[in-house]
Structure 1
């Protein structure tokens, strides 16, 4: 009888040991992707083909393909103010084979739409490729000489000056609202479908002020059609060394610099995220990649760790959420 119990106990323990080893092996295989990647990677761009996001994804994707020795496919999924493409990645398998081309919509849209995503839980940032500086500009015929002049004028005439808004929830829109909060002024939003419409209105003098991308504003400043007051950037930008950043002008809380990068689904194994982060950082360290990114009028970024990227996402999300709530902005 005792021998039978011992035999049964032996078999039970053996069964548990085999089961435990299989569970450990399975978990290890999921958490330690030593052979990742073994098939093509897809980068989903939540914007139209031919735009900045599409071009950026292809530049980085081509270099990453060489580093990881697997094809990288760029798939454009525009629509819903970037929500369609972003949600597609949030719901994708967390296996490292579906990446998001991330932009300000990743951190702004959750506060604009009721049924969006949580950028801190549903995504892991794996790379910040470029920043996209913008210039705060006024028409050439404006009497203001600098940012201090404009703020003084706006305070003398509350709610009488307007600004060009290229899209609800766009980085230009939110930067303007952040600037209004930081400086204590009130400006009336004049909506346009995109930045070119704002540019035309500025040149004509139909709006008093607006943020524009450097690529769009710089030629008009050089030709004397616009005057720059400040730049949203980490540092002063080449070509306009006398134009201060908003932070230098005393409005650092409004100096939220838009960036483009990459993210993967939130449940992606840490080891996989590290592998992707390393590949993107190696791509960003390439001089030919940096040259191509500068040709997009973007500022190439230095390699960042997963923790550093997470901190940027959290900071932007919290700043955008605060200004959207205070200004009562909604896109639903």
Structure 2
């Protein structure tokens, strides 16, 4: 099944099921929700994460019958929303987006809470594809140009990312280590800030999500590589890291969590509403805009994936060492 047919199939499923699911949720949860819900997003307003999450929230609000208000809390490798939940009532009225980068933080910072055990996992909704691009001002036209320039100018190649210990940062550091490159990693608070900096020539190369593709299409950036197992359909001429001789892939699912101890019926109500919201055509179209695919996991599978990711990240960071 092609990527477009997957999106269209999801939208078609939603059209017939919307009213039935909404009615069953209202019947099963007579008291929840009785007021607005706050969804805290880990990246700045205007970027791909923010825009897709706002569409998802709008859709889920229609199912739940109450507004869902989005609040942006960027920075700290995406950990601020989930950190906020550590001091929030577990009543379902405050939930958060959880980037997988948070699974690294127990091993890189003095995080006082456990991302696996100290959250209620609601649903995983989507994930990022990643790539590297060069500023048109840099004069770099290909990944081979980047490697050659970095080797000829050690310590001078500036490589932007969406925040310290995010997937773009850690994977970029792994790539640099594999190639023996001395580069300067420059963190930004999110994709929109990184894109502005790259186009302004503040950094020569940027590692980001596939949200950069419109800038490439417009001729404002040059695509260098993609981090998926296979080439992206929208960048068919751009090689994967594997094709470039680097045994590295990276993708980063993310979803929604609540405070630890959330009542099971509230967690189920939120899960069912957001699952229905995922299937609506408006959300599918927003994902397609940013080359993001729906990646559904139920509550149990999502928590299991988070636990497995935590173990993997610990091993990767140990291998990477202080170069990150």
Q: Same fold, TM exceeding 0.5?
A: yes
Q: Does 1:229 align with 2:224?
A: yes
In structure 1, which of residues 69, 73, 76 is the aligned counterpart of residue 68 of structure 2?
73
Sort the Cα spacing of 1:197 and 1:128 in 2 relative to 1 into closer, same or farther, 3 A. closer
Q: 1:185 to 1:96 in 2, by over 3 A?
A: same
Counterparts of 1:28-107 in structure 2 under 5 Å?
34-35=28-29, 37-40=32-35, 41-67=37-63, 69-76=64-71, 78=73, 81=76, 82-107=78-103
Pair 1:131–1:111, CA change in 2 (3 A): same
8 A contact 1:43–1:99 mirrored in 2: yes
Q: For 1:312, what is the secondary structure of its paired residue?
A: helix
> In the superposition, relative to structure 1, how do residues 55 and 162 fare at CA in structure 2: closer, same or farther (>3 Å)?
closer
Asked whether the 8 Å contact 1:133–1:214 carries over to 2, the reply is yes
2:84 and 2:109 map into 1 onto residues whose CA distance is 16
Cα distance change, pair 234–284 in 1 and its aligned pair in 2 (3 A):
farther
Q: Does 1:304 align with 2:303?
A: no
Q: What RMSD over aligned residues (CA atoms) do the two structures have, in Å? A: 3.8
State the 1:112 CA deviation: 3.5
- Identify the residue that residue 255 of structure 2 maps to in structure 1: 261
Q: State which structure, 1 or 2, has the greater radius of gyration over its C-alpha atoms.
A: 1
Ranked by relative contact order (alpha carbons within 8 Å, sequence separation 6 or more), the top structure is 2
Q: CA deviation at 1:280?
A: 1.9
| Structure 2 residue corresponding to 1:129, chosen from 116, 125, 128 | 125
Residues matched between the structures, number: 293
Separation in structure 1 between the aligned mates of residue 195 and residue 72 of structure 2, nearest angstrom: 27
Structure 1 contact 43–72 (Cα < 8 Å) conserved: no
Task: Say if 1:178 and 1:125 are closer, same or farther in 2 by CA, change over 3 A.
Answer: farther
- Confirm or deny that 1:167 pairs with 2:160: no
- Equivalence for 1:317: 310
Is the Cα contact below 8 Å between 1:102 and 1:262 reproduced in 2?
yes
Q: Indicate if the aligned counterparts of 2:215 and 2:221 stay in contact, CA closer than 8 A.
A: yes
Cα deviation for residue 122 of structure 1 reads 1.1
Seen in structure 2, the aligned counterparts of structure 1 residues 56 and 115 have a Cα distance that, compared at 3 Å, is: same
The C-alpha deviation readout for 1:230-253, integer Å capped at 9, x for no partner, is 213465333212223335656454
| Aligned partner of residue 291 in structure 1, secondary structure | helix
1:290 correspondence with 2:290: no
**Alpha-carbon deviation of 1:78?**
2.2
State which of 174, 181, 190 in structure 2 corresponds to 1:186.
181
Query: 1:168-201 CA distances to partner (integer Å, 9 max, x unpaired)?
Result: 22332122123234x3433321425455676577
Contact 2:121 2:302 in 1 (8 A): yes
Give distance in 2, aligned partners of 1:166 and 1:232: 16
Normalised by the length of structure 1, the TM-score is 0.69
Paired position in structure 2 for 1:8 = none
Structure 1 residues 46-72: Cα deviation after superposition (integer angstroms, max 9, x where no partner): 4444554443333112222222x3314
1:210 lines up with 2:203 in the alignment: no
- In structure 2, relative to structure 1, the CA distance for the partners of 1:128 and 1:329 (3 Å cut) is farther
Structure 2 unaligned blocks of 5 or more: 1-26
Change in Cα spacing, 1:292 to 1:144, as seen in structure 2 (3 Å) is: closer
Which deviates more from structure 2 when the two are superposed, residues 276-285 or residues 263-272? 263-272
Matched residue of 1:180: which SS? helix
What is the TM-score normalised by the length of structure 2? 0.71
Secondary structure at the aligned position of 1:121 is classed as coil
SS of the equivalent of 1:164 reads strand
